[in-house]
Amino acid sequence: MITLGLTGWTDHPLIQRSTDNKLTAYAGHFPVVEVDTSFYGIPKEKTINNWLDQTPKTFQFIPKANNVLTLHKSYKESYDTLEEAFDAFKRAFHPMLSQNRVKAILFQFPPYFDCVKKHVTYLRFVKKQMKDLPIAVEFRHPSWFSEKNKAQTLALLKQQNWTNVIVDQPQTPNNSVPKIIEKTSSLSILRLHGRNYDGWLGEDVVNWRAERTLYNYSIEELQSFADIVSQLEKETSDVCVIFNNNSGGHAAQNAKELQALLGLTFDGLGPQQLDLF
CATH no. for residue 128? 3.20.20.410
Task: Evaluate whether residue 275 is within a structural domain.
Answer: no
Task: Evaluate whether residue 241 is within a structural domain.
Answer: yes
Task: Evaluate whether residue 108 is within a structural domain.
Answer: yes
Q: What are phi and psi of 35, to 5 degrees?
A: -95, 105
Sign of CA dihedral 135, 140, 142, 143: negative
Please count the helices (runs of H) and the strands (runs of E) in the chain.
11, 8
Query: Looking at residue 147, what is its pLDDT?
Result: 95
Determine if residue 46 is left, alpha or beta; phi over 0 gives left, psi from -120 to 50 gives alpha, anything else beta. Answer: alpha
If you average pLDDT over every residue of the chain, what do you get?
92
Task: Evaluate whether residue 146 is within a structural domain.
Answer: yes
Q: What are phi and psi of 197, to 5 degrees?
A: -60, -50
- Is the whole-model pTM more than 0.75? yes
Query: Looking at residue 276, what is its pLDDT?
Result: 35
Query: Looking at residue 275, what is its pLDDT?
Result: 47
Separation in Å, CA 142 to CA 48, 87, 180 = 34, 30, 11
Query: Looking at residue 273, what is its pLDDT?
Result: 57
Q: Pick out the chain residues at pLDDT < 70.
A: 17-20, 203-209, 273-277
Q: How many CB atoms lie within 10 A of CB 140?
A: 19
Separation in Å, CA 73 to CA 65, 83, 145 = 12, 14, 24
Query: Looking at residue 123, what is its pLDDT?
Result: 98
Between CA 265 and CA 238 the distance in angstroms is: 15
* Structural domain boundaries, residue 241: 2-262
Query: Looking at residue 37, what is its pLDDT?
Result: 95
Separation in Å, CA 27 to CA 4, 31, 44, 109, 269 = 11, 6, 21, 28, 6
> What letter represents residue 12's amino acid?
H
Q: How many domains in the chain? A: 1
Task: Evaluate whether residue 270 is within a structural domain.
Answer: no
Task: Evaluate whether residue 267 is within a structural domain.
Answer: no
* DSSP track, 29-58: T-SEEEE-HHHHSPPPHHHHHHHHHTS-TT
Query: Looking at residue 185, what is its pLDDT?
Result: 97
Separation in Å, CA 257 to CA 163, 218, 221 = 25, 10, 11
Between CA 255 and CA 253 the distance in angstroms is: 5
Task: Evaluate whether residue 277 is within a structural domain.
Answer: no
* DSSP track, 216-276: ---HHHHHHHHHHHHHHHTT-SEEEEEE--TTTT-HHHHHHHHHHHHT---TTPPPPPPP-
Are 147 and 173 contacting, i.e. CB atoms less than 8 angstroms apart? Answer: no
